[in-house]
């Protein structure tokens, strides 16, 4: 290169404006970081909000809408949606109107054989689920408290059996260890009317080999006030279920084999009497307002069921109540009494494919077994009516249900709008995955810009 050419190039370069590479790169990096922060913040807001927007997840507890009177029974229930919130998730559900279980979609899983419980809010159709882990029918092994605030679920292991009390208002679980030494199984059997005590059934080995077992029924005070042993006997197919409390909680009735036993809340035995074939203690609502005790029985050679009442002191039959019979069912179970004097019952619709004959004698526990039931419904038996009134319907393969006592006693029924679409947990995980993908994309852009153009 000649001297003249070199000088010409220097003069031309001196006339070109300076380009501040470092300052421009710093500004670009700052702008990219601000955009990344804004994007991450937006996704975090999305993650926080999406559980609230899905119809399947539902909002948190709301004030009772104008014109309503509080907890009520929905006139129909649906199934838990995919990604439904769990019982203890936020926003809290609050008191429930009912719980249900079965073999329908949303109630089964790969690891929890028919062990998912559906939960419906007391004043609106906000659904939650709770996984038990194995088949545990609602109203038999999983029980809703009288005020709908808690569910009692069998839990623990054979070495450490317990009852799990799931608080739907606070979103916490309390573990209630077995009060019976040597117990291998604990199951809830009945709530006291005030919700302060729980009847628990324990199974205890009767010999070191474990070839025989004993059943123990105890009334456990949930405030730490100890327990009262009600009965202990050799293991029987039907034991302690259902347990029915009188309205004031002073007396309990339960079934053991082919007998009904009655005791005081202090454990003092009051009376017992035998049951005719195809007859059982009516249910948790078996005590009538007049102090008599209701039984349910099947008419011979039919599937027609009636509610009768007996003298609890002697078992003397006082005749059938002036309530309509329920036909075409495997059995009925009495939930309680409404202000108008009608009885609210669960009716078990038979499974057509079941080989069992329901117009023939059959153990009561087999009449509610999942394999023999197609669906359930809640009926009102109004005194003097010609036929029952259906107040709640459920999808097929919803096979068991329990209703909060306060909902039964209110007598209120509301128009239901079960959830559809996907639930809050689906949206939460979708938002989380979106956050991860967006963060990875933005980090990749920052790295690419920092490296500069290739070539």
CATH superfamily ID and name for 55-422: TolB, C-terminal domain (2.120.10.30)
CA–CA separation, 218 and 418 (whole Å): 38
Cα separation, 288 vs 307, whole angstroms = 11
Give pLDDT, residue 32.
57
Question: What SS3 class is residue 2?
Answer: coil
| Residue whose token pair is 């404006």 | 17
Phi and psi angles of residue 139, each rounded to the nearest 5 degrees, phi first: 90, -10
Give the single-character DSSP code of 351.
Answer: P
Q: What is the pLDDT of residue 30?
A: 63
pLDDT at res. 24: 59
**What is the structure's pLDDT at 330?**
98
User: What's the token pair of residue 429?
Assistant: 């995980």
Measured in whole angstroms, the distance separating CA 388 from the mean position of its chain's CA atoms is 27
What does the H/E/C string look like for 236-261? CCCEEEEEEECCCCCEEEEEECCEEE
Write phi, then psi, for 108 (nearest 5 degrees).
Answer: -130, 165
* Strand partners for 298: 305
Residue holding tokens 């070839």? 211
Residue matched to tokens 């990344």: 36
- Dig out the tokens for 231 from the structure: 């009965």
pLDDT at 14: 62
pLDDT at 63: 37
Question: How far apart are the C-alpha atoms of 396 and 79, rounded to whole Å?
Answer: 10
Give Cα 375 to chain centroid, integer Å.
Answer: 17
pTM comes to 0.84
Q: Dig out the tokens for 74 from the structure.
A: 């929905």
Distance CA 93, CA 84 (A): 12
Please report the pLDDT score of residue 193 as a whole number.
Answer: 98
Which two structure tokens, joined as six digits, stand for 163? Answer: 């009852």
* Residue 294 near residue 309, CB atoms below 8 Å: yes
Which tokens sit at 79? Answer: 């199934």
Is the torsion defined by CA of 418, 419, 421, 422 positive or negative?
Answer: negative
HEC profile of 363-394: CHHHHCCHHHEEEEEEEEECCCCCCCEEEEEC
* CA 304/CA 359 separation, integer angstroms: 8
User: Residue 390 is encoded by which pair of tokens?
Assistant: 């259906």
Q: How far is CA 372 from the centre of its chain?
A: 22
pLDDT at 354: 96
Domain boundaries, the chain: 55-422
Residue of 81, 167, 64, 188 whose CA lies nearest to 128: 81
Check: CB of residue 268 under 8 Å from CB of residue 225: no
CA distance 110 to 97: 28
Pick the closest to residue 159 from 134, 174, 178, 143 (CA basis).
Answer: 178
In whole angstroms, give the CA distance from residue 242 to residue 344: 16
Query: Residues 401, 142: contact at Cβ < 8 Å?
Result: no
**Per-residue pLDDT of the chain in tens (455 residues, 90 and over written 9):** 566 766 766 666 566 555 455 565 556 556 656 665 555 555 445 444 444 433 344 433 333 343 357 999 999 999 999 999 999 999 999 999 999 999 999 999 766 678 999 999 999 999 999 999 899 999 999 999 999 999 999 999 999 999 999 999 999 999 999 999 999 999 999 999 999 999 999 999 999 998 999 999 999 999 988 999 999 999 988 999 889 999 999 999 999 999 999 999 999 999 999 999 999 999 999 999 999 999 999 999 999 999 999 999 999 999 999 999 999 999 999 999 999 999 999 999 999 999 999 999 999 999 999 999 999 999 999 999 999 999 999 999 999 999 999 999 999 999 999 999 888 775 665 776 777 777 777 777 777 777 766 55
Tokens of 248: 């004031």
């Amino acid at each position: 290169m000649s001297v003249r050419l070199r000088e010409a190039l220097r003069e031309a370069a001196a006339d070109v404006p300076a380009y501040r590479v470092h300052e421009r790169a710093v500004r670009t990096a700052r702008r990219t970081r601000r955009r990344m922060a804004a994007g991450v913040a937006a996704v975090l807001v999305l993650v926080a909000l999406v559980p609230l927007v899905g119809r399947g997840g539902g909002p948190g507890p709301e004030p009772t809408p104008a014109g309503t009177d509080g907890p009520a029974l929905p006139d129909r229930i649906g199934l838990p949606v995919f990604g439904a919130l769990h019982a203890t998730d936020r926003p809290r559900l609050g008191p429930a109107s009912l719980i249900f279980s079965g073999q329908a979609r949303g109630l089964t899983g790969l690891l929890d054989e028919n062990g998912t419980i559906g939960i419906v809010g007391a004043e609106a159709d906000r659904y939650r689920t709770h996984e038990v882990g194995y088949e545990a029918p609602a109203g038999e092994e999983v029980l809703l408290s009288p005020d709908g605030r808690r569910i009692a679920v069998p839990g623990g292991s054979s070495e450490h059996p317990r009852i799990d009390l799931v608080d739907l208002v606070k979103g916490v679980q309390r573990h209630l260890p077995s009060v019976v030494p040597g117990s291998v199984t604990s199951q809830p059997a009945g709530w006291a009317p005030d919700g302060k005590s729980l009847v628990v059934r324990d199974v205890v080995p009767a010999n070191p080999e474990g070839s025989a077992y004993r059943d123990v029924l105890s009334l456990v005070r949930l405030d730490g006030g100890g327990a009262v042993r009600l009965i202990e006997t050799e293991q029987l197919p039907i034991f302690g279920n259902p347990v029915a409390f009188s309205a004031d909680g002073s007396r309990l009735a339960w079934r053991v084999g082919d007998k009904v036993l009655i005791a005081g809340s202090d454990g003092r035995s009051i009376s017992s009497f035998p049951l005719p074939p195809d007859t059982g203690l009516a249910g948790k609502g078996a005590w009538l307002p007049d102090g008599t005790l209701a039984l349910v029985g099947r008419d011979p050679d039919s599937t027609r069921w009636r509610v009768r009442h007996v003298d609890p002191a002697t078992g003397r039959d006082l005749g059938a109540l002036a309530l309509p019979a329920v036909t075409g069912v495997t059995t009925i179970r009495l939930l309680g009494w409404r202000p108008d004097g009608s009885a609210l019952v669960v009716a078990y619709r038979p499974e057509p494919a079941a080989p069992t004959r329901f117009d023939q004698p059959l153990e009561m526990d087999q009449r509610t077994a999942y394999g023999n039931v197609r669906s359930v419904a809640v009926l009102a038996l109004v005194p003097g009516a010609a036929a029952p009134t259906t107040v709640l319907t459920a999808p097929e393969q919803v096979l068991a249900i329990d209703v909060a006592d306060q909902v039964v006693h209110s007598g209120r029924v509301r128009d239901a709008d079960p959830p559809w679409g996907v639930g809050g947990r689906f949206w939460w995980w979708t938002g989380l995955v979106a956050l991860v993908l967006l963060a990875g994309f933005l980090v990749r852009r920052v790295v690419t810009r920092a490296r500069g153009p290739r070539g």
